[in-house]
């Protein structure tokens, strides 16, 4: 699936004369996601925020889970779709930016500037519909060393294509725990609302969400191969059996009460 995603991106980006399968295969050898669940992100890495101020990655962690996206701000198409997908999911989720989670977007192109980052932030906060929550979504730039260290930590592989003068890269987002550990991956440019919601609740160690979310987490299980949550039949049956027993106990109690007080 990851290989197909990257291949599709290259085919769409390349002009007809540049579509050489041999060259694409060479590029794709260094493109994709290598899942590193539970890996620790190096929080001592230093980036620049939208105002050009140096900031440690650790300043975005410690309290809430984080949605991490790796893009580059001059990307002609795929990165825009990734960011649009994040906004669509955020708008549809009952969980709220800043209150329940943060988003950190990092450019993997060291040529990107804080001004480009600030422009992107303004566009996507307006699209989200809550520009007042700007502190919850950060757009960062950084040196090649910092970017590569972060990308390696989360298993994000990309390569610059000198023929197209663009970066070849996969599309997706990574969910991190408040401690900065990799919790979940979601591939592509569409991120199912319920799956992202459950992942955030799970990554927060049940500090956010509702009792309904906890119940759903009991009945659903994350599949790292698909990046989706699926129903665990045995748990559903077990829950159904418990509910049946509770119902019977309550029903019998009501009958006994009626016999005592006709």
Check residue 162 and give its pLDDT. Answer: 85
Same domain for 7 and 78: yes
- Among the candidates 206, 223, 250, a domain finishes at 206
State the Cα–Cα distance between residues 36 and 183, nearest whole angstrom.
9
Q: Are residues 79 and 178 in the same domain?
A: yes
Q: How many structural domains does the chain have?
A: 2
Q: Would residue 222 count as lying in a domain?
A: no
- Spatial separation of the C-alpha atoms in residues 3 and 220, rounded to whole Å: 27
**Domain with 56 in it: what CATH number?**
3.40.30.10
Within a domain: residue 211? no
Residue 230 lies in a domain: no
Residue 111 placed within a domain: yes
Residue 12 pLDDT: 44
Query: Is 220 within the bounds of a domain?
Result: no
Same-domain status, 135 and 246: no
Q: Give one DSSP letter per residue of 98-155, joined into a string.
A: TTTBEEEEEES-TT--HHHHHHHHHHHHHHHT-GGGGGGEEEEB--HHHHHHHHHHHT
Contact status, residue 212 vs residue 239, Cβ threshold 8 Å? no
Q: Are residues 82 and 187 in the same domain?
A: yes
Beta-ladder partners of 222 = 229
Q: Do 152 and 248 lie in a common domain? A: no
pLDDT tens, per residue, the chain with 262 residues: 444 444 444 444 444 444 445 666 666 777 899 999 999 999 999 999 999 999 999 999 999 999 999 999 999 889 999 999 999 999 999 999 999 999 999 999 999 999 999 999 999 999 999 888 889 999 999 999 999 999 999 999 999 988 888 999 999 999 999 999 999 999 999 999 999 999 999 898 866 555 544 454 445 556 666 656 665 433 433 434 444 545 554 555 565 566 666 5
| Cβ pair 110, 88 in contact under 8 A | no
- Residue 226 resides in a domain: no
In which domain, by residue range, is 22 found? Answer: 2-206
In a domain, 231, yes or no: no
- Domain end point (choices 164, 185, 206): 206
Rounded to whole angstroms, the Cα distance separating 245 from 38 reads 38
Q: Are residues 242 and 201 in the same domain?
A: no
């Amino acid at each position: 699936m990851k290989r197909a995603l990257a291949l599709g991106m290259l085919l769409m980006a390349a002009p007809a004369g540049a579509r050489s399968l041999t060259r694409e295969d060479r590029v794709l050898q260094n493109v994709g996601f290598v899942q590193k669940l539970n890996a620790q992100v190096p929080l001592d890495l230093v980036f620049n925020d939208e105002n050009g101020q140096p900031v440690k990655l650790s300043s975005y962690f410690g309290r809430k889970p984080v949605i991490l996206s790796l893009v580059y701000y001059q990307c002609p198409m795929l990165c825009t779709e990734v960011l649009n997908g994040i906004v669509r999911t955020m708008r549809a989720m009952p969980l709220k930016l800043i209150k329940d989670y943060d988003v950190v977007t990092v450019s993997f192109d060291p040529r990107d500037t804080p001004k480009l980052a600030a422009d992107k932030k303004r566009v996507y906060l307006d699209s989200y519909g809550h520009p007042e929550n700007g502190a919850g979504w950060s757009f960062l730039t950084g040196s090649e060393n910092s970017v590569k260290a972060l990308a390696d930590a989360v298993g994000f592989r990309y390569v610059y294509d000198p023929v197209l003068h663009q970066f070849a890269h996969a599309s997706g987002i990574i969910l991190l725990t408040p401690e900065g550990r990799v919790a979940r991956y979601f591939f592509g440019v569409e991120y199912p609302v319920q799956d992202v919601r459950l992942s955030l609740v799970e990554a927060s160690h049940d500090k956010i969400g509702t009792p309904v979310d906890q119940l759903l987490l009991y009945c659903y299980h994350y599949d790292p191969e698909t990046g989706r949550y699926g129903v665990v039949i045995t748990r559903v049956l077990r829950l159904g059996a418990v509910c049946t027993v509770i119902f019977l106990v309550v029903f019998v109690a009501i009958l006994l009460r009626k016999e005592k007080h006709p």
